Structure 1
């Protein structure tokens, strides 16, 4: 299965499109759908967890979104070159006990020729927040609205 465009090598415009497409995809919170954006042998480092391949990705994302409720994510491109994109991101979620968190992180992505991601390195820190400190409030059934502020606009 080929990945969705844009395909590498990236320009500033196509790298930004790829970042937004990734944000929208992860905001679906659908592990199977998200996993299709990665090569079958994709390698991940997510915090201290190391994954390889589609089934590892699906299992990981299933566990993640069972724990991280009301998950909402914003990504911004930091840099790009050829087949690689660096991204900064923040997401908010609550636990089953009602505790809210904002996670901050950076990702380094490398893409295959077909546009699917073959490598993902993520460094992430979780910060407890009060419910009144939340900044991401769009409807969970869809992507972040285009008029919603970016991370930079939010001062994050």
Structure 2
């Protein structure tokens, strides 16, 4: 693994590393840590919610992970420029009734010079799945799961 700083301007290598660093951080489901990756005035569009600033981000994530149990996420680099990264993602979770869901989507990220995210736009669709249809089961490295169009 490279010791390259994960700040703009991104290279292919640093963009890929930034995506996986974000994925790994979100998979902790620790809103007290995750919100620190964003600028104090960061703006988000997450589905139909508009969020501004790290305190709103923290509250959003706390609420998200209080209802999305068993959350496991995979992100892959889609495209990048000097200070922007686009990712495709898949995540699974179950609700309080035990129903499993898989979410498919795209995110558009813009970064400040210090590497903190200052803008995040997310679009996503959710699909009910059964326990047997899960990709990201306990003990599975999300990065090793083969994902292709045949899985959609």
TM-score scaled by length of structure 1: 0.89
Cα distance between partner residues in 2 of 1:153 and 1:127: 15
CA distance in 1, matches of 2:74, 2:142: 11
Which residue in the other structure is 1:74 paired with? 74
**1 or 2 for the larger relative contact order (CA 8 Å, sep ≥6)?**
1
1:145 matches 2:141: yes
**What do you get for the CA RMSD once the two structures are aligned?**
1.9
The alpha-carbon deviation at position 146 of structure 1 amounts to 7.5
SS of 1:17's partner is: helix
Match of 2:50 in 1: 50
Residues 12-51 of structure 1 correspond to what in structure 2 (within 5 A)?
12-51=12-51
Cα distance in 2, alignment partners of residues 108 and 72 from structure 1 = 20
Query: What is the total number of aligned residue pairs between the two structures?
Result: 149
Q: Where in structure 2 are there 5+ consecutive unaligned residues?
A: none
Unaligned runs of at least 5 residues, structure 1: none
Q: 1:122 aligns to what? A: 122
